[in-house]
Chains A and B, each alone.
Chain A
Amino acid sequence: MKMGREHILNKINEQLGSDEPGRRGESIARMRIQAHDNNLMPGRGCINEGSLDDLFSVEAERVTTTVAHVDNMDAIPVAVADYLSARNLPSAVRLAPHPDLLEPDWEADTLLSVSSGIADGEDEVSVTRALAGVAETGTLVMVSGPETPTTLNFLPLNNIVVVRRSEIKGTYEEVWAEIRSRTESGMGTPTLPRTVNWITGPSRSADIEQTLLLGAHGPQRLHILIVDD
């Protein structure tokens, strides 16, 4: 496909004309990428830290996510068990292999049958760990990694997501800054995790007569546990 590449790039150059200071040039593109400046951020998410989790909950509930608070990570098993029994959902859960989720004593505190790892397509309930929340739209940010496999976000019919209150940010840009600070290697640009998922509500489709239905391919229920510690 070498021919394709050269041909296409030459054609673009031909159509656009030669470089023009201020408008067109390799250095202009490079500088913009290196600066990666924020564009306009809606005022809605630019509020003081104390009210971020309220805004996050309000926005999440607008898109039919449910939200509950727990005091600390140890309270997660009971909160999960309560959520499932209140809705008469199966009691087998698949955990993301994240220390925050593995450390609590699931067996002592609940009657749930618990396993961890990637989704196998049969799981009905997953419990996962978010990197962050975005208050602006009640969005969860999930990243792939050894402790947080991507398939758990999508295959099970019910998804319960754990996020710390301090991890809830106002805007998406703040989360990009967070991801950059983890991965930026000195001079270079960031290497993103293989997959970054923004999740805003449970899966839905309106493809049949514009009737809104939840649970199209991904989860039908999305429940967020905010850890207040």
Chain B
Amino acid sequence: MESTSRQFKDNARTALRDENLQGALKRLASGFPERRLEAAARLPEFEALRDQARGIKNHVLDNLDYYLEAFEDRVIESGGKVHWCDDAQAARQTILDICRKTGARTVTKSKSMIGEEIAINDFLEENGIEPVETDLGEYIIQLRREPPSHIIAPAIHLSKDQVEATFREKHQDLPADRVLEEPRSLLEEARGKLREKFIAADVGLTGANMLIAETGSNVLVTNEGNADLTYSLPRVHIVIASLEKVVPTLEDATTILRVLARSATGQEMSVYTTFCTGPRRPEDLDGPDEYHVILLDNGRTELLGSEFQEMLRCIRCGACLNHCPIYRSVGGHAYGWVYSGPMGAVLIPGLIGLGEAHHLPNASTLCGRCEYVCPMRIPLPKLLRSWRQRQFERRQTSNVSRWALNLWAWFARQPALYRLLTRTAVSVLAMFGQSGRFNALPLAGGWTQSRDLAAPQGGSFVKQWADKQFFDQVNNSNSG
């Protein structure tokens, strides 16, 4: 997918003015976080399970090559094929080759972030094969030719009126008098349309929430059941997954599943959790004849062994998006590439380059809520700071920021002068800010445009500290 991450600031400005989007983000903010809290409260072991889930992934990442080889062995033993792909181009071509060999005309697809990463839909279309997204949200945005704006709720940015308008425009056999006002009628319209596609499809393309080294299986998690119709009806099942999705055993997958849905939607378990292993067996009545797994690198190995390795623990639950004040203000599209929110701001620079995504690590208040809710305990604020540090080292930070930081650093090394200056600044600000806050300040327009700046109360930090030390000493000597 082409990135517009460079235009983050413009994207964000547009998003803040988009009333539909702002309404949708308000619904998101009140929904998922509350349900996550309820689910966590119902499971006393939740925090301990998060620790174990982190431990499992850390262990896998340290032994990634061995687990991938074990996984491949098991896929081959069960009659499937593994295709190792270095980048998006290799993965696209491999998928196209399999489709051509099958003589495929229609490919049904369940939601996959890797599918977005390699922009598989456009590629299949260019080559005369019709890709059909089957997750309701993905289907809607495919009709609108938009990227997803949330990992697990891809059409979160749309209102039902927009969905209705989309169906009326794209479903040409839809009678004009058909009532499509309620979400239920929209769902039924999509269900009917997609039912035909499921039955007609030659190839089913799914992602993978996990791969299991022990059994050579892929795990699929959905609430709609669309992934299950995607792999069980066509002749060929293709799984696309990035390298870090592998876990050692069924038990390890089970532990991660216990924290995944609770973190994502606040469900105890998603409705459908599926383990697919190889093609159908000779005695089976249904299921695909062929099973292919595309193992995609696309920049992951570059993160291994680096300070960003921890990002590869991510299980794409979306909890950090749901809790992020920035995501909740600007939505997913502003980030300009496949991923968004705190996990996107860390992962995107790693995958498409810090130059292209230079705004994203700065699109954070470092409030820490993302780390607090991450089921895999990824230290997202720390990783965002690491990117910022790299930017500074590579001179990718703006001249104004560099100049200001250097100026500050110079003053900070002259304690007497620094104290004098801060003391003066504090008393000047306190004098002008007698109402307790500023709603406009020279050089701080970026801040005061959307919120007030508190006026300083009391002296500078250094002065308050010194005063406290003095009082403590006096008190101690009095009591002694």
A-to-B contact residues, CB < 8 Å: 1, 3-5, 7-9, 11-13, 15-17, 23-26, 28-30, 32-33, 36-40, 42-44, 59, 62-63, 97, 117-118, 121, 137, 139, 144-146, 149-151, 153-155, 172-173, 176, 189-211, 213, 215-219
User: Which A residue sits closest to B233, measured CB to CB?
Assistant: A151
What are the 5 closest A-B residue pairs judged by CB atoms, nearest first? Answer: A218-B225, A207-B137, A216-B224, A15-B305, A29-B66
Q: Is the CB of B64 within 8 A of A199?
A: no
Q: Is the CB of A146 within 8 A of B301?
A: no
Task: Report how far A13 CA is from B194 CA in the complex, Å.
Answer: 44
> Min CB distance, A82 to chain B, in Å?
25
Task: Report how far A149 CA is from B251 CA in the complex, Å.
Answer: 25
Option from B48, B59, B267, B301 in Cβ contact (under 8 Å) with A11: B301
Q: Is the CB of B251 within 8 A of A38?
A: yes
Option from A28, A193, A209 in Cβ contact (under 8 Å) with B27: A209
Other A-B pairs beyond A33-B213, A63-B268, A208-B140, 4, CB < 8 Å: A39-B52, A176-B251, A194-B281, A210-B156
Write out the residue numbers on chain A whose beta carbons fall within 8 Å of the beta carbon of B96. none
Q: Is the CB of B287 within 8 A of A8?
A: no
Beta-carbon contacts of B141-181 to A below 8 Å, as 1s and 0s? 00000000000011110111001000000000000000000
Q: Is the CB of A203 within 8 A of B86?
A: no
Option from A12, A146, A151 in Cβ contact (under 8 Å) with B64: A12
With most chain A CB atoms within 10 A of its CB, the pick from B68, B86, B187 is B187
The answer to whether residues A146 and B186 also contact, given A200-B271, A208-B136 and a CB cut-off of 8 A, is no
Question: Is B275 part of the contact surface with A, judged by Cβ < 8 Å?
Answer: yes
Option from B67, B158, B275 in Cβ contact (under 8 Å) with A29: B67
The answer to whether residues A200 and B269 also contact, given A190-B215, A194-B277 and a CB cut-off of 8 A, is yes
Q: Is the CB of B195 within 8 A of A199?
A: no
Q: Is the CB of B52 within 8 A of A40?
A: yes
Question: Is B131 part of the contact surface with A, judged by Cβ < 8 Å?
Answer: no
The answer to whether residues A32 and B250 also contact, given A118-B285, A203-B223, A208-B136 and a CB cut-off of 8 A, is no
The answer to whether residues A5 and B84 also contact, given A192-B277, A210-B28 and a CB cut-off of 8 A, is yes
Segment touching A, from B122-130, B252-260, B329-337, B419-427: B252-260
User: Which B residue sits closest to A20, measured CB to CB?
Assistant: B62
User: Which B residue sits closest to A119, measured CB to CB?
Assistant: B286
Write out the residue numbers on chain A whose beta carbons fall within 8 Å of the beta carbon of B137. 205, 207-208
Q: Is the CB of B224 within 8 A of A204?
A: yes
Option from B59, B94, B269 in Cβ contact (under 8 Å) with A137: B269
> Among residues 179 to 214 in chain B, which have CB atoms less than 8 Å away from a CB atom of chain A?
183-184, 186-187, 191, 194-195, 198-199, 213-214
Write out the residue numbers on chain B whose beta carbons fall within 8 Å of the beta carbon of A217. 134, 191, 194, 198, 224-226, 228-229
Task: Report how far A124 CA is from B284 CA in the complex, Å.
Answer: 22
Q: Is the CB of B270 within 8 A of A200?
A: yes
User: Which B residue sits closest to A176, measured CB to CB?
Assistant: B250
**Contact-size category for B:** 35 or more
Question: Is B273 part of the contact surface with A, judged by Cβ < 8 Å?
Answer: yes
Task: Report how far A222 CA is from B223 CA in the complex, Å.
Answer: 13
Q: Is the CB of B250 within 8 A of A36?
A: yes
Write out the residue numbers on chain A whose beta carbons fall within 8 Å of the beta carbon of B229. 151, 154-155, 217-218
Question: Is B274 part of the contact surface with A, judged by Cβ < 8 Å?
Answer: yes
Option from A26, A40, A197 in Cβ contact (under 8 Å) with B274: A197
Q: Is the CB of A176 within 8 A of B286?
A: no
Question: Is B445 part of the contact surface with A, judged by Cβ < 8 Å?
Answer: no
The answer to whether residues A9 and B65 also contact, given A198-B269, A208-B163 and a CB cut-off of 8 A, is yes
Question: Is B31 part of the contact surface with A, judged by Cβ < 8 Å?
Answer: yes
Q: Is the CB of B285 within 8 A of A204?
A: no
Write out the residue numbers on chain A whose beta carbons fall within 8 Å of the beta carbon of B217. 192, 196
Option from B158, B187, B276 in Cβ contact (under 8 Å) with A213: B187
Question: Is B90 part of the contact surface with A, judged by Cβ < 8 Å?
Answer: yes
The answer to whether residues A146 and B284 also contact, given A1-B94, A176-B250, A192-B215 and a CB cut-off of 8 A, is yes
Q: Is the CB of A208 within 8 A of B271?
A: no
> Min CB distance, B270 to chain A, in Å?
7
A-B CB contact pairs (8 Å), 12 listed: A3-B86, A15-B302, A16-B304, A25-B66, A121-B195, A144-B287, A173-B254, A192-B78, A196-B217, A204-B224, A213-B183, A213-B184
Write out the residue numbers on chain B whose beta carbons fall within 8 Å of the beta carbon of A216. 136, 187, 191, 223-226
Q: Is the CB of B86 within 8 A of A194?
A: no
Beta-carbon contacts of B334-376 to A below 8 Å, as 1s and 0s? 0000000000000000000000000000000000000000000
Write out the residue numbers on chain B whose beta carbons fall within 8 Å of the beta carbon of A191. 77-78, 215, 277
Option from A15, A155, A199, A210 in Cβ contact (under 8 Å) with B304: A15
Question: Is B45 part of the contact surface with A, judged by Cβ < 8 Å?
Answer: yes
Q: Is the CB of B271 within 8 A of A63?
A: yes
Q: Is the CB of B140 within 8 A of A207?
A: yes
> Min CB distance, A41 to chain B, in Å?
8
The answer to whether residues A195 and B275 also contact, given A12-B65, A12-B304, A25-B66 and a CB cut-off of 8 A, is yes
Write out the residue numbers on chain A whose beta carbons fall within 8 Å of the beta carbon of B270. 200
Write out the residue numbers on chain B whose beta carbons fall within 8 Å of the beta carbon of A149. 284-286
Write out the residue numbers on chain A whose beta carbons fall within 8 Å of the beta carbon of B306. 15
Write out the residue numbers on chain B whose beta carbons fall within 8 Å of the beta carbon of A206. 153, 223, 265
Q: Is the CB of B254 within 8 A of A176?
A: yes
Option from A5, A154, A176 in Cβ contact (under 8 Å) with B228: A154
The answer to whether residues A36 and B251 also contact, given A9-B69, A12-B301 and a CB cut-off of 8 A, is yes
